[in-house]
Every structure is written in C-alpha cells, then in structure tokens.
Amino acid sequence: MKIGILTSGGDCPGLNAVIRGIVLKGTAVYDLEFVGIRDGWRGVVDGDFFPLTRHEVKGLSKVGGTILGTSRTNPYEGPRGGAENIKKTLYSHRIDGIGAIGGEGTLAAANRLANDGINVIGVPKTIDNDLRATDYSFGFDTAVNIATDAMDRLRTTGDSHQRCMVAEVMGRHVGVIALHAGIAGGAHVICIPEVPMSMDDIVAQVTKAHDRGRAPLIVVSEGFKITGMDEAFSDKGLDAFNRPRLGGISEVLAPEIERLTGIETRATVLGHIQRGGSPSAFDRVLATRLGLHAADAIVDGAWGQMVSLQGTDIVRVAFEDALGELNTVPLYRYEEAAALFG
C-alpha cells in the first residue's frame, strides 16, 4: 500500500515528529510505502510527490516546521482541483490513500474528499487548540511556552519604564493561548474572544494595576472583540478558505488605553514567532504518538477519521466530530483567571 502524507494550513512545531512517527511505524511494522506531498493540498492537485523513507525522516522529532512544505490551498479550486481530478492523479501515481495533517480548514477539506470517495485519514494540528474532538493538539504547548517567555520579557521592559504593555497572541476565535500565557505570565488583564469586554472594563483593570505601582500587562487574543464590535479586527483580507486573516487588535487597544488613562502604552504582536522553532518535549511526544496511531489507522482502513488525544489515550473520531463547533474556553475557566486581574 502506498500512502501520501501532506501538511496543510499554518505551520506548527511538531509537524515533522508526526511525519516521522507515521513513516517509521508504517515502514517497520506494516511494510507500507510512503510519498511526501509537497505544499499541502497544492501538491495533491498538481501531483507533486516524492519518495518518503526512513532516511528522510531521521532525527526529525526535534525539528520545527515541516519538511513537506505547506500552503492554504483549497483542493476543490482550480482546473485540476475537485474530487474526480484528484482521484485520477492519485491513481496515476498508484497512491492508495492520504494522511492529512492539519487544522480546521485542512480537516474540512479532508472530510469533503472522504465523502467524495477518496481515502483520507487525518491528524489534528493547530497551535490554537480549537478542535473540539481532541483534548490537546500538538503545537499548542510550544506556542504557550513561546508566548509566556515573551510576557516575561515584556514585563521587565514595562517595569523599567512604568509602561502598559499589550501583547497580542494567536488563537483566531478561541482564546486558550491567551488564557494560558496570561496566567503563566502574570497578566493584569486577559482579553479573549469568548468574553467581550468594553474599553471601560479594560481601563478599570489597567488603572487598578497602575495605582498599585505595577506596570500593567495585557494579553489579548487576535480574535478578541471590544464590546460593540460585530467582527474580530481584520485588515489583511481573506485566506484560501475565505476566512478573515486576523491580527492587529492590540494596535487598536494600545492608543485607546493611553488616551483614556494617560499611561504610556505599547503594543507587541507576537505573530508567527509562536509557530516557529523546535517543539516542546510535550509536543514531540504527542505528535509522535499521533503519527504512530495514524499508521495503525491507515492499515485498519479507518478512512474518514482522525486520530485524537482524549485524556491520555489516542483514539479515532470521525471528521464530522472535529468540525463545526470550536473548542472554546469555558466561562468558568476565564472566571478562575479573573481573580488575578488588576
């Protein structure tokens, strides 16, 4: 059996560890043959494949990024896109199925292809930890560690100048990175998409911290909405799946906070720093385990499903169970952290 492996969507620490896990177990235990698919769904559409053996994956668990490349291509767009064209491309290369490693957009495309008769299994990937069918996704732990390190650094420069520092982290419409990094970094305010706040609410906490002699630190998720905003802030257009490219809300908040409080305020957008570098030990282990179980799922013919972490076990769930609703921050989790504000 020949299987193509792809990584799609935003890159994230741990992708290479998944690839390594699938290939090592697939070749050593099941005698599977693998090909790498370059640049996600773009490579499927264009037939851009290359042999993927034990040699290509050696030592990859600690390496960030993805050796396969990635893109945000929609496999149903373009003259060579669509299920029927993709079936022909896979058949011509004698590829029996696809292992798709990606987040919500990737898995939605995989689900559509599976429903159209193409053999696909999935491995969930997102630093945002917003997929509801898995307790944790690899990349999240590394992103929180990076964001927390940034908070520690912003605290020292903020303390030196008695400035208010606003740090913006990724997460799209889910605030779990902001929540965890904010708690770990000792933030005085945490702004997440699940809990809209007014400028008055934010200013009250900033002023409270400043009056105690502290340099206020605010952590804001890129998808946060100030009360009265209909949509999350976006001025970067749409991605290939017609989703707004978020980012920049901190640069909206900072001048308003300074205007309303008189406290010098600076904004820092962490952006793609959160995606780069080597994965944490937790993410290396989780990604490797998901890869190993993905190889099992391929041999068992568990097409239309993805491997998932539930508790400490790796299980299989249907694509539909991972899509639709996002894995948002429960209100009680935010209320726990709110005791630390101000």
Just list the catalytic residues. 128
CA distance 84 to 159: 60
Specify the residue for token string 């017609």: 242
How far from 107 is each of 32, 124, 302, CA to CA, in Å? 23, 8, 15
Polymer length of the chain: 342
Residue 148's nearest CA partner among 175, 184, 189 is 184
Report CA-CA distances (Å) from 259 to 176, 222, 252, 287.
Answer: 29, 21, 12, 45
Q: Is residue 139 a contact partner of residue 283, using CB atoms and an 8 Å limit?
A: yes
Tokens standing for 290? Answer: 């998901």
Beta-bridge mates of residue 122: 100, 306
d(CA 223, CA 26): 39
* Alpha carbons 105 and 48: distance in angstroms, whole number: 21
Sheet of 305-310, strand order: 49-51, 33-37, 2-7, 97-102, 120-124, 305-310, 313-318
Residue 39 CA to residue 125 CA, distance in Å, equals 15
Distance CA 131, CA 323 (A): 7
- Distances from the Cα of 140 to the Cα of 100, 111, 128, 299, angstroms: 18, 23, 6, 28
